[in-house]
Amino acid sequence: MHFSQRMNGMDKSDFFPGPDPQHWPKDHPPVQAGRIGVLLVNLGTPDATDFWSMRRYLRQFLSDPRVVEDNSLLWKLVFNGIILTTRPRVRGRDYDSIWNREKDESPLKTITRSQADKLAAALGSDRLVVDWAMRYGNPSLGSRITALAEQGCERLLLVPLYPQYAAATTATVCDEAFRKLMTMRWQPTVRVAPPYHDDPVYIAAVAASLKGALAGLAFAPEVILVSFHGIPRDYFDKGDPYHCHCAKTARLLRAALGYDADKLRMTFQSRFGRAQWLQPYTDKTVEALARGGVKNLAVITPGFAADCLETLQEIAVENAEIFRHHGGQNFAAVPCLNDSEGGMAVIRHLVERELMGWV
């Protein structure tokens, strides 16, 4: 039976089966209950590109012990004395180059809002309340959990929009959500959607997206890089499954597309600091390919559910410049799934699967 059909035949008492209002104290406000919240969560975004907005965002992001596990005095000195005084201007300029000026917000915020709106329309049920949040920045995760509870959501499905699990992404969403739940008198029952790095619907959507993008190019890439956000190698050594999830996604994409490991290569981007991160590095690989005579290159970033600074600026601008500077000619950055038909099919599939037994 189709998901929407399961809603048919339900009356208001099915949606709001809470305490009988006649037994409430006379001065008690009406209590909404019986709904289910679906909360899409992405990494985060600054509120603006100015120094202080960027500083606030970077402080929150890089103060998370899941993101930076180094708690040494040296790190604290570097963080407060150097990073928070120099990086806000640099990152502010980067964000400014991709900023959605019409809405005065980052593309990540624009796309995530659209994903939530389209999901709500596709599910088409008054019982389900779809919302969205950012782990860092606004709208905050805690504020949206409060908003869903106030709308009568007794059950909550958290959907971290990270196909591959990492402690610095999926786990910190759970950390923050449960910190909020600790403050609530009436907690909703919570589920967390699992990572979907090997889900057939996700793999098919990424493969179809890549095929469509390649068909629209005026050149044929000799090599395609599958670039994932990196993590420090030390996190992997401690047991983080992220590298394994990325490798499986890349392997399944090769199988779906009929490519070998020379044609479709896995790399890792966005490293930070002096520590060793997961390799091979995207920027170093792009440079080496150009130096080695590759003239046509495409990069796809399936670890990101929505285009953001790391895809629109780091890949599409910085790495394109690296490629051309070292002898390459044609470079294409393939868009993320975003709120496309394929991207929404993935999100809807995950949500409907995880809501089973609740609806």
> Taking a C-beta distance cutoff of 8 angstroms, is the pair 253, 207 a contact?
yes
Q: Which domains, ranges and CATH numbers included, belong to the chain?
A: 200-333 (3.40.50.1400)
Q: What does the DSSP 8-state code read for residue 317?
A: I
Nearest to 99 by CA among 267, 272, 301, 309: 309
> Taking a C-beta distance cutoff of 8 angstroms, is the pair 232, 277 a contact?
yes
Residue type, 94: D
Residue type, 318: E
Nearest to 250 by CA among 208, 197, 205, 213: 197
Give the pLDDT of residue 23: 55
- Encoding tokens for residue 70? 């180094």
Residues 6+ apart with CB under 8 A from 307: 107, 108, 111, 335, 336, 338
Give the pLDDT of residue 15: 46
Write out the chain's pLDDT in tens, 359 residues: 555 555 555 544 444 444 555 555 566 555 677 999 999 999 999 999 999 999 999 999 999 999 999 999 999 999 999 999 999 999 999 999 999 999 999 999 999 999 999 999 999 999 999 999 999 999 999 999 999 999 999 999 999 999 999 999 999 999 999 999 999 999 999 999 999 999 999 999 999 999 999 999 999 999 999 999 999 999 999 999 999 999 999 999 999 999 999 999 999 999 988 899 999 999 999 999 999 999 999 999 999 999 999 999 999 999 999 999 999 999 999 999 999 999 999 999 999 999 999 99
Tell me the whole-structure pTM to 2 decimals.
0.91
CB atoms within 10 A of CB 35: 21
Cα(113)–Cα(120) distance, integer angstroms: 11
> Taking a C-beta distance cutoff of 8 angstroms, is the pair 276, 237 a contact?
no
> Taking a C-beta distance cutoff of 8 angstroms, is the pair 271, 302 a contact?
no
* Dihedral (CA of 297, 207, 259, 196) sign: positive
For residue 204, count CB atoms less than 10 angstroms from its CB and return exposed for 0-12, middle for 13-18, buried for 19 or more.
Answer: middle
Task: Please give the angle made by the CA atoms of 125, 126 and 130, to the nearest 5 degrees.
Answer: 75
Nearest to 38 by CA among 116, 137, 142: 116
Residue type, 80: N
Residue with tokens 């068909």: 215
Strand order across the beta sheet in which 264-269 lies: 264-269, 223-229, 296-300, 330-333
